[in-house]
Amino acid sequence: MRRRILINYVVTLILSALITGALAFYFIESSYLDSKEEKLKTNINLIEGILQDNYKSKTKVNFFRLAQDLSLKTNSRVTFIGIDGWPIADSINNSIIFDDHSYTPEFRNAIKGDRAVVKKYSEEIGKKYSYLSIPPIKVGDRDVILRLGDSYDEVDHIVEEFVRYLVVATFIGILFAITISYVSVKEIVKPIKELTIASRQISEGEFDKKINVHTNDEIEELSVSFNQMATRLKETINQLKDANADLDAILSSINDGIIALDKENNITLVNEGVKKILDIDIKGMVGQNIIDALRDIECIGQIEEGVNSPDDFYTEIKIEGADTKYVSLATYPIMKDARSNIKNGQLLIIRDITSIVKAENMRKNFVANVSHELRTPLTSIIGFVETLRIKKLDEKNKEKVLDIIELETEKLKKLINELLILSKIESIKEVRDLSKVHIVDDVYEVLKLLEPQIKSNNIDFELNIEDKLNPINGDKDLFRRILINLVENSIKYNNTGGYIKVNISNYQKGIKLVVEDNGIGIPEEDLPSIFERFYRVDKSRSINREGTGLGLAIVKHIVLYFGGSIEVDSKLGQGSRFTVKLPN
């Protein structure tokens, strides 16, 4: 820009120097020639007077001397030409090759009586001349035409000088122009430079950039508009950012995986849910084709089928892994706008349905388990009732059979009781029945109840209970159930001569209950499942240890209902420790 302005300056200067030079040259030449013409006219009148006064009646005239005399007086070239056109004498050249002058314009003018100045190049002398002739007059005994000439060759010299000065002046002018233009261009370019820098910064996201230009011209107007534009841009971008942040917040708070696709199945949007459900890195997914982006996913076949299906698509997929997952996949079309029928892309919704599928499986298993657990004692009871009816048994054997029937009925009753407790706790949706209860007395009563069992198994028992035990937010009967089930298990899964330690202390505002034994322990791989309904660790080790597999499930449900937590530490062959924390 600076160079362009400089070139413009210099070109303008050269052009104006040329035009000024040409005009000046024309003016100088024409005024110079005018003055020459005036001089010729004055001189010729003077000479004409002299000749008429002094030479009209002279008989012998030396024309050469006369021409030279007159030339000295007038400082002009003086030529006498006969009326036949042949020159008689010339002041500057007395040995000139005299030519016929009858064809020359000045001669013809003279003959015609026309006193006009003729400008021409003199071949004999090699210079430019202005000539003026007068009609024939009598000089001595001859009729002659007087011609006066004045060289204007020096006009060329003057022009030459003029051009030299003009070139020097132009050169100095160019130097001035460069200096002035450098300074002024710097001033002009400064605000433009500022604008350029500011627009670059804005394009890099610095919308607070403002330009302060006070040039009082279009550049100031431009900078004002520029500042307004930057403010608007900032507002618009902030609005867009807010809208985007809202959308981001909404999308990331949705647990389902959401992927939006354009018409070419390229990803235009993806949320955190996809990362959580499919366990993949979603960074850089936007812009990629869905199939490329998810090619490592096990269910890519179904995803491909879904996104390529012409209608809404739904399928459920099992993803094998450390934790087997179940996900549902659904696709919905994205319309161009609310009213149109034109499909602009589609939405892929991925939902983690593991808990739903597991609950469903659990429900199926539960029914199967309950049926199985009920059928076993029932079959046995039916069998023994048949025996009683058909076989003629003596009193002793009859008693034995009736004892077995009673035992099986007890088992059945226990199972049904536990099922009832479980379903009762599960059906409680609210915790409004809970209240602050002190459980010290209940602890002693439960342990008194269990004492015979402990003693008959020859087990050492130790109870530690904090003096001022905090109350808990719960229900006395349900608390008793927790303690009974845990201590009964410690008796059941203990060895003769083993020990059980029950420790109850204050924990935060509630209590901590620890039931510990050095019994048979639980294998590590079974630990995560022991709180599930009907889960029993390896039935073979439970021979002689009657159970329903519902005890710990009941404990866990009560603890959760109380808002507490339960943990188990156990080593096979070394014993188990159950820790229950119950809040106030």
Residues forming contacts to ligand ADP in the complex (CB under 6 A) are: 485, 489-490, 493, 517, 519-522, 530, 535-537, 542, 547-553, 576
Q: Are 32 and 128 in contact (CB under 8 A)?
A: no
Q: How far is the CB of 566 from ligand ADP (least distance, A)?
A: 12
Q: How far is CA 517 from CA 234, 337, 501, 555, 571, in A?
A: 69, 68, 6, 17, 11
Q: How far is the CB of 372 from ligand ADP (least distance, A)?
A: 14
Q: What is the Cα–Cα distance from 252 to 182, expressed in whole angstroms?
A: 59
Q: Are 576 and 568 in contact (CB under 8 A)?
A: yes
Q: Are 525 and 487 in contact (CB under 8 A)?
A: no
Two tokens at 416? 């049904």
Q: How far is the CB of 379 from ligand ADP (least distance, A)?
A: 20
Identify the burial level of 354 via C-beta atoms within 10 angstroms of its C-beta, where 0-12 means exposed, 13-18 middle and 19 or more buried: middle
Phi, psi of 524 (to 5 degrees): -55, -40
Q: Which lies closer to ligand ADP via its Cβ, residue 306 or residue 519? A: 519
Q: Are 333 and 343 in contact (CB under 8 A)?
A: yes
Q: Which lies closer to ligand ADP via its Cβ, residue 542 or residue 584? A: 542
Q: Which lies closer to ligand ADP via its Cβ, residue 474 or residue 551? A: 551
Q: How far is CA 468 from CA 473, 506, 508, 564, in A?
A: 16, 8, 13, 20
Q: Which lies closer to ligand ADP via its Cβ, residue 242 or residue 462? A: 462
How many residues are listed for the chain in this entry? 584
Q: How far is the CB of 459 from ligand ADP (least distance, A)?
A: 12
Place of tokens 């867009």: 240
One-letter amino acid for residue 489 of the chain: N
Return the closest-CA partner of residue 278 out of 307, 258, 248, 252: 258
Q: CA 541, 547, 549, 553: dihedral to nearest 10 degrees?
A: -130
Q: How far is the CB of 492 from ligand ADP (least distance, A)?
A: 6
Q: Which lies closer to ligand ADP via its Cβ, residue 207 or residue 561? A: 561
Q: What is the Cα–Cα distance from 512 to 582, expressed in whole angstroms?
A: 6
Q: Which lies closer to ligand ADP via its Cβ, residue 36 or residue 481? A: 481
Place of tokens 């934790």: 323
3-state secondary structure of 326: strand
Q: How far is the CB of 483 from ligand ADP (least distance, A)?
A: 13
Q: How far is the CB of 378 from ligand ADP (least distance, A)?
A: 18
Q: What is the Cα–Cα distance from 79 to 63, expressed in whole angstroms?
A: 9
Two tokens at 275? 């990362």
Q: Give 309-366 as a DSSP string.
A: -SS-EEEEEEE-SSS-EEEEEEEEEEESSTT---EEEEEEEEEE-HHHHHHHHHHHHH
Q: Which lies closer to ligand ADP via its Cβ, residue 49 or residue 497? A: 497
The dihedral built from the CA positions of residue 296, 297, 302 and 304, taken in this order, carries a sign that is negative
How many other β-carbons are positioned within 10 Å of the β-carbon of residue 88? 18
Identify the burial level of 317 via C-beta atoms within 10 angstroms of its C-beta, where 0-12 means exposed, 13-18 middle and 19 or more buried: middle
Q: Which lies closer to ligand ADP via its Cβ, residue 297 or residue 552? A: 552
Q: Which lies closer to ligand ADP via its Cβ, residue 88 or residue 459? A: 459
Q: How far is the CB of 540 from ligand ADP (least distance, A)?
A: 11
Q: What is the Cα–Cα distance from 400 to 406, expressed in whole angstroms?
A: 10
Q: How far is the CB of 478 from ligand ADP (least distance, A)?
A: 16
Q: How far is the CB of 519 from ligand ADP (least distance, A)?
A: 5
Q: Which residues pair with 346 in a beta bridge?
A: 261, 333
Q: How far is the CB of 548 from ligand ADP (least distance, A)?
A: 5
Q: Which lies closer to ligand ADP via its Cβ, residue 209 or residue 536? A: 536
Q: How far is the CB of 451 from ligand ADP (least distance, A)?
A: 18
Return the closest-CA partner of residue 428 out of 466, 490, 370, 474: 474
Q: What is the Cα–Cα distance from 25 to 157, expressed in whole angstroms?
A: 12
Q: How far is the CB of 584 from ligand ADP (least distance, A)?
A: 27
Q: How far is the CB of 568 from ligand ADP (least distance, A)?
A: 8
Q: Which lies closer to ligand ADP via its Cβ, residue 211 or residue 520? A: 520
Q: What is the Cα–Cα distance from 481 to 140, expressed in whole angstroms?
A: 173
Q: Which lies closer to ligand ADP via its Cβ, residue 120 or residue 539? A: 539
Identify the burial level of 311 via C-beta atoms within 10 angstroms of its C-beta, where 0-12 means exposed, 13-18 middle and 19 or more buried: exposed
Q: Which lies closer to ligand ADP via its Cβ, residue 41 or residue 414? A: 414
Q: Which lies closer to ligand ADP via its Cβ, residue 313 or residue 493? A: 493
Q: Which lies closer to ligand ADP via its Cβ, residue 191 or residue 521? A: 521
For the chain, how long is the longest CA-to-CA vector?
A: 210
How many other β-carbons are positioned within 10 Å of the β-carbon of residue 260? 18
The dihedral built from the CA positions of residue 9, 14, 18 and 21, taken in this order, carries a sign that is positive
Two tokens at 462? 């130790």
Q: How far is the CB of 337 from ligand ADP (least distance, A)?
A: 58
